[in-house]
Amino acid sequence: MVKGIHARNICALAAGSLLLYFPGQILIQDTLLKQAVQPEMAEGGDTVQSWCQPSVKRHGRFVNPWATWTAPGLGGLMKMVFKEKKPSLPTTEEIEARLPVIKPDFECLSKGPSPTTLSTVWIGHATVLVQMDGLTILTDPIFSDRCSPVQFIGPRRYRPPPCSIEELPKIDAVVISHTHYDHLDLTSVKKLNERFGPSLKWFVPLGLKSWMTDVGCAEVIEMDWWQEEPYSEESNVKFVFTPAQHWCKRTAFDTDKVLWGSWCVLGSTNRFFFAGDTGYCEAFKQIGRKHGPFDLAAIPIGAYCPRWFMAPQHVDPVQAVDIHCDVKARYTLGIHWGTYNMGSTEPIFEPPEKFAESAKQKGLEEGEVFVLKHGEIKLIEKD
């Protein structure tokens, strides 16, 4: 049994949350940054940017242009950390039974699928391995024990990664959605760079290139919302950085100096959408209209309670199904759950249950949205 996890470590978890959110992620933003930026209105009431909302930057910082956005504040964080009751982890036996970790058979994966098959492996949290159109892609890689500026305190794994970076197949490209520590892990970036070197291409948000090159990454493509870049001149795959509703912060001084977003990977055979970390907003309808449909989407379903605090920045499972529909995905993998104790208040097994329940209520076919075990492989065949 994971005995006394909540009782013994409440102070450590609270301090870890502060490290993650302050200065590591959240906090004080000035009045300008707290306000949503409304798009200009055309005659007849239609929005000029209803098709493709561009990124917005003011006084050196990016801002959310969505009416659904409200910025987190210090008072809300203090209430979240010290007043909201956090659920205790289940017993070790229950976690092992309901969240097993499988060693992925990468050799079988590389030999088995047909050229038209899209293959995916859930590594954990928002880290997904996708093989499509001749490329192997990794999303927001984190293999560390803690998602924190330091490894002695902060949100810790209760499920280990199913493989090490050394055991991964050759990775051609990595996409990064934003700079929070559970999505941009310094140790994992360095280890991936050490193993694959300049053959690995990093597709990152606007404002992050200098950080990536400073830690040794050679091939870094920095992109704005709706910008498109081919993997190479010879490749039939292009990467498109698309909007999301979130924010960026790693230190006390860099709030929103880097853009955040989602990713579309568009091949001649398959199309993949990675939502990153996001609250629900109009962006996903825009993405679906411009780049959908997708063969597979990876959409967050966890770390969503309490809603008064999490709603602007993290969708819940119901909204994840809404995004699935908005972007016109054939199938959606639920991610961002079941890996780290992120300090949210929903029970750890609740996200996939609510995800499936919401899909059923919306009339989706069984299996259209799904979750995987850590390390489990899923093959998506073309119709």
* CATH code, domain with 287: 3.60.15.10
> Is 77 contained in some domain?
no
Residues of the chain above pLDDT 70, percent: 86
- Whether 101 and 123 have beta carbons less than 8 Å apart is answered as no
Q: What is the pLDDT of residue 87?
A: 81
Task: Confirm whether residue 181 is marked as ligand binding.
Answer: yes
> Is 11 contained in some domain?
no
Displacement of CA 304 from its chain's centroid (Å): 13
Nearest Cα neighbor of 129 from 192, 187, 216 is 192
Extended strands (E) in 38-87: 56-58, 61-63
Question: What's the domain count of the chain?
Answer: 1
Nearest Cα neighbor of 323 from 268, 378, 243, 248 is 243
Nearest Cα neighbor of 263 from 318, 209, 221, 311 is 221
CA 369 vs CA 64, 331, 347, 348: distances in Å: 28, 6, 20, 18
- Whether 241 and 209 have beta carbons less than 8 Å apart is answered as no
Task: Confirm whether residue 277 is marked as ligand binding.
Answer: yes
Tokens of 74: 């210090």
Task: Confirm whether residue 304 is marked as ligand binding.
Answer: no
Q: What is the pLDDT of residue 113?
A: 63
pLDDT digits (tens, 9 = 90+) for 136-162: 999 999 999 999 988 888 899 999 999
> Is 123 contained in some domain?
yes
Owning domain of residue 111: 92-380
CA distance 323 to 53: 17
> Is 54 contained in some domain?
no
Q: What string of DSSP letters covers 110-129?
A: HHSS-TT-EEEEEEETTEEE
Task: Confirm whether residue 182 is marked as ligand binding.
Answer: yes
Q: What is the pLDDT of residue 15?
A: 40
Task: Confirm whether residue 324 is marked as ligand binding.
Answer: no
Q: What is the pLDDT of residue 23?
A: 36
Q: What string of DSSP letters covers 168-208?
A: S----EEE----STTTS-HHHHHHHHHHHGGGSEEEEETT-
Which residues fall within 8 angstroms of residue 74, CB to CB, at 6 or more apart? 22, 26, 27, 28
Task: Confirm whether residue 183 is marked as ligand binding.
Answer: yes
CA distance 329 to 320: 11
CA distance 9 to 153: 10
Task: Confirm whether residue 246 is marked as ligand binding.
Answer: yes
pLDDT of residue 82 exceeding 80, the answer is yes
pLDDT of residue 50 exceeding 60, the answer is no
pLDDT digits (tens, 9 = 90+) for 250-282: 998 999 999 999 999 999 999 999 999 999 999
The pLDDT mean for the chain works out to 88
Task: Confirm whether residue 336 is marked as ligand binding.
Answer: yes
Q: What is the pLDDT of residue 86?
A: 81
Task: Confirm whether residue 374 is marked as ligand binding.
Answer: no
Burial of 382 (0-12, 13-18, 19+ CB in 10 A): exposed
> Is 49 contained in some domain?
no
